[in-house]
């Protein structure tokens, strides 16, 4: 992977300052929030630059959408191109079937949604982040608490220029079976979309959240720099599915931080069948007594895409569990690296890291660096990795039953991926199959 030279300007604080001014102008942002932005800006210079691809995030300008969209009562109110995108993701169909929460962030503007009221009655508060930090102390207390803006240049930059995002608050004991959808669309060139998301699940609440990301065809590289902070209360269960279908020029830097209280469960499945030009993440989770975090990453990379999946799980409490699974289908010249770690810091903890990869071509590559460490003598920690090509015998078998090479290859790739996502709604599965069919070709 050759680092892409995105840099025409040099890193500079005045550049960020202009962006902050532009973002906050006429917005009536509380002073402490704006002050936090400037803190991020000041940390930017001294923060380490850890990203191998993006040398200067300032090439990705963050700005507020100039004409806020009208309120969305139903999908029919969406702009046509947005609607088409949702169609491509198979969302409209699902939406028509059931009353579901759907909120969409279009570039840096937040499209509001009347679904909010319906959800509020059921005990689920969903509010644009800008509004939430004015309205809810619960949001303020949990805003930007689980990371240090100085930890990296991108973290500092996110702190300074974050825009959009949601606050999702599930009240105590509320158990919601219908999944809630949140969509991000990038529509402008050279745009840094930096939504900030806070999930606050009160004790014994349960929710499923499906987050989708996509973009229509643009001509320049764009940056998606989201940050999710998840607070999982005692005995609460949060199931987050992230579907990414970014085109090949979008750089994505999703950051997740999660605190899982006693007996709480956080399960995150991210499906990146179009992870963009580059996708680098280093999520961190802290798990208390009896709690559990499970990360499942499913990725398919093409062309010269570069994916680097970190992930640190800290098993802080007794009997806590951490799981980090990844499955990758690596094509063309693309590269996938996984470096999940699990740290056992208390007794009776369990951790497992697994990494499976199908390397489709000679130029494609996969590296895995699992890390396990324990400060106790009774933790059960393990890892396994299997990196390989499609077996010629499997291909021959399917072809000998009348499938052509492409069909056989697609079937094997689908079979490799599907067990990891079989809990997704059927509409998504059929969409994922379609994406695989379009992307995968035989190489025999």
Q: Which residues bind other proteins (CB under 8 A)?
A: 391-394, 396-405, 407, 411-412, 414-419, 444
SS3 assignment, position 146? coil
CA 386-389-393 angle, 5° bins: 115
CA 257-261-263 angle, 5° bins: 125
Contacts of 186 (CB under 8 A, 6+ apart): 107, 193, 214, 215, 218, 222, 224, 246, 250
Choice between 32 and 397, CB closer to other proteins? 397
Contact 287, 316 (CB under 8 A): yes
Q: How far is the CB of 338 from other proteins (least distance, A)?
A: 20
Choice between 197 and 417, CB closer to other proteins? 417
Q: How far is the CB of 373 from other proteins (least distance, A)?
A: 31
Q: How far is the CB of 413 from other proteins (least distance, A)?
A: 9
Q: How far is the CB of 391 from other proteins (least distance, A)?
A: 7
The one-character DSSP state at 219 is S
Q: How far is the CB of 406 from other proteins (least distance, A)?
A: 11
How far, CA to CA in Å, does 399 sit from each of 104, 129, 351, 415?
43, 52, 40, 16
| Long-range contacts of 23-27, Cβ-Cβ distance < 8 Å, separation of 24 or more | 23/62, 23/63, 23/64, 23/108, 23/161, 23/163, 25/64, 27/64, 27/130
Q: How far is the CB of 402 from other proteins (least distance, A)?
A: 4
Choice between 70 and 404, CB closer to other proteins? 404
Choice between 124 and 398, CB closer to other proteins? 398
Choice between 13 and 403, CB closer to other proteins? 403
Residue 219 token pair: 């001509």
Exposure on the CB side of residue 232, measured as CA atoms within 13 A:
31
d(CA 69, CA 384): 48
Q: How far is the CB of 388 from other proteins (least distance, A)?
A: 12
Choice between 138 and 418, CB closer to other proteins? 418
Choice between 304 and 443, CB closer to other proteins? 443
d(CA 163, CA 405): 46
Contacts of 210 (CB under 8 A, 6+ apart): 179, 180, 181, 182, 240, 241, 242, 243, 428
Q: How far is the CB of 410 from other proteins (least distance, A)?
A: 10
Choice between 50 and 391, CB closer to other proteins? 391
């Amino acid at each position: 992977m050759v680092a892409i030279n995105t840099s025409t300007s040099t890193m500079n604080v005045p550049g960020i300052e202009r962006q902050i001014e532009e973002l906050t102008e006429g917005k009536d942002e509380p002073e402490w929030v704006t002050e936090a932005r400037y803190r991020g800006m000041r940390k930017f210079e001294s923060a380490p630059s850890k990203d191998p691809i993006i040398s200067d995030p300032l090439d990705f300008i963050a700005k507020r959408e100039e004409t806020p969209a009208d309120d969305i009562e139903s999908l029919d109110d969406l702009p046509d191109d947005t609607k088409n995108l949702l169609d491509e993701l198979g969302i409209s169909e699902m939406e028509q079937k059931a009353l579901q929460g759907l909120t969409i962030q279009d570039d840096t503007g937040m499209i509001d949604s009347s679904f909010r009221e319906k959800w509020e009655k059921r005990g689920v508060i969903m509010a644009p982040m800008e509004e939430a930090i004015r309205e809810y102390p619960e949001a303020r207390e949990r805003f930007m608490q689980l990371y240090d803006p100085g930890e990296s240049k991108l973290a500092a930059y996110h702190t300074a220029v974050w825009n959009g995002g949601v606050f999702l608050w599930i009240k105590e004991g509320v158990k919601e079976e219908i999944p809630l959808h949140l969509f991000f669309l990038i529509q402008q060139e050279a745009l840094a979309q930096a939504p900030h998301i806070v999930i606050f699940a009160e004790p014994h609440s349960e929710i499923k959240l499906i987050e989708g990301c996509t973009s229509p065809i643009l001509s320049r590289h764009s940056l998606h720099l989201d940050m999710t902070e998840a607070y999982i209360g005692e005995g609460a269960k949060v199931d987050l599915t992230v579907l990414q279908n970014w085109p090949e020029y979008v750089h994505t830097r999703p950051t997740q931080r999660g605190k899982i209280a006693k007996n709480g469960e956080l399960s995150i499945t991210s499906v990146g069948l179009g992870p963009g030009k580059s996708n680098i993440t280093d999520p961190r989770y802290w798990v208390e007594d009896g709690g559990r975090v499970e990360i499942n990453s499913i990725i398919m990379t093409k062309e010269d895409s570069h994916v680097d999946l970190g992930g640190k799980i800290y098993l802080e409490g007794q009997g806590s569990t951490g799981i980090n699974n990844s499955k990758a289908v690596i094509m063309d010249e693309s590269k996938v690296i996984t470096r999940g770690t699990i740290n056992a810091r208390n007794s009776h903890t369990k951790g497992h890291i697994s990494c499976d990869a199908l390397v489709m071509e000679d130029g494609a590559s996969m590296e895995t660096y699992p890390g396990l460490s324990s400060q106790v003598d009774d933790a059960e920690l393990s890892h396994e990795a299997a990196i390989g090509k499609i077996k010629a015998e499997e291909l021959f078998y399917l072809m000998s039953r009348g499938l052509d090479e492409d069909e056989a290859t697609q079937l094997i790739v689908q079979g490799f991926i599907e067990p990891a996502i079989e809990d997704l709604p059927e509409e998504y599965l059929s969409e994922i199959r379609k994406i695989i069919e379009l992307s995968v070709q035989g190489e025999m």
